[in-house]
Amino acid sequence: MFVDQVTVTLKAGRGGDGCVSFRREAGVPKGGPDGGRGGDGGSISFVADENVSSLAWFRFHPIQKAKNGAPGEGNNRQGKRGADVRLTVPVGTVIREKDGGAVLFDLTLHGQSAVAVRGGKGGRGNASYATSTHQAPRERQPGRPGGEKELFLELKLIADVGLVGFPNAGKSTLISRISAARPLIADYPFTTLAPNLGVVDLGEYRSFVVADIPGLIEGAHLGQGLGIRFLRHIERTKLLVHIVDVSPYTGRDPLEDYRVIMEELEAFSPEVAARPQVLAANKADTLGADTSRLVRLRRMAARKKIPFFAISALTREGLKPLVAALARTLERLREEGGKEAA
Q: What is the CATH number of the domain that holds 88?
A: 2.70.210.12
Strand partners, 154: 5, 94
Domain end marker among 91, 121, 155: 155
Q: Quote the CA–CA distance of 286 and 246 in Å, as a whole number.
A: 8
Domain match, 283 and 213 both: yes
- What angle is formed at CA 127 by the lines to CA 123 and CA 129, rounded to 5 degrees? 80
Say what the pLDDT of residue 252 is. Answer: 85
Domain end marker among 103, 135, 155: 155
Say what the pLDDT of residue 191 is. Answer: 47
Domain match, 223 and 298 both: yes
Say what the pLDDT of residue 185 is. Answer: 47
Of 108, 85, 122, the C-alpha closest to 10 is: 85
Say what the pLDDT of residue 190 is. Answer: 44
Structural domain span for residue 17: 5-155
Say what the pLDDT of residue 188 is. Answer: 40
Domain match, 149 and 206 both: no
Give the tens place of pLDDT for each residue, 179-224: 876 644 445 444 445 677 788 888 876 888 888 887 666 655 555 5
Q: How many residues does the chain have?
A: 342
Say what the pLDDT of residue 329 is. Answer: 93
Domain end marker among 131, 155, 179: 155
Domain match, 240 and 113 both: no
**What's the one-letter identity of residue 307?**
P
Identify whether the C-beta of residue 108 lies closer than 8 Å to the C-beta of residue 91: yes
Cβ neighbours, 10 Å, residue 50: 12
Say what the pLDDT of residue 186 is. Answer: 45
Total of domains in the chain: 2
Identify whether the C-beta of residue 112 lies closer than 8 Å to the C-beta of residue 52: no
pTM recorded for the entire structure: 0.75
Of 21, 23, 25, 24, the C-alpha closest to 35 is: 21
Identify whether the C-beta of residue 198 lies closer than 8 Å to the C-beta of residue 212: yes
Domain match, 96 and 195 both: no
Identify whether the C-beta of residue 37 lies closer than 8 Å to the C-beta of residue 81: no
Domain match, 180 and 135 both: no
Domain match, 193 and 324 both: yes
Domain match, 140 and 185 both: no
Say what the pLDDT of residue 320 is. Answer: 93
Domain match, 85 and 128 both: yes
Q: Quote the CA–CA distance of 213 and 164 in Å, as a whole number.
A: 6
Indicate which CATH number applies to the domain containing 183: 3.40.50.300
Cβ neighbours, 10 Å, residue 21: 21
The stretches in the chain having pLDDT less than 50 are 183-186, 188-192, 226, 342
Domain match, 150 and 173 both: no
Domain match, 267 and 328 both: yes
What's the burial of 319, exposed, middle or buried (CB within 10 Å: 0-12/13-18/19+)?
middle
Cβ neighbours, 10 Å, residue 185: 16
Domain match, 171 and 289 both: yes
Q: Angle, to 10 degrees, between the axis of helix 254-268 and the axis of helix 292-304?
A: 40
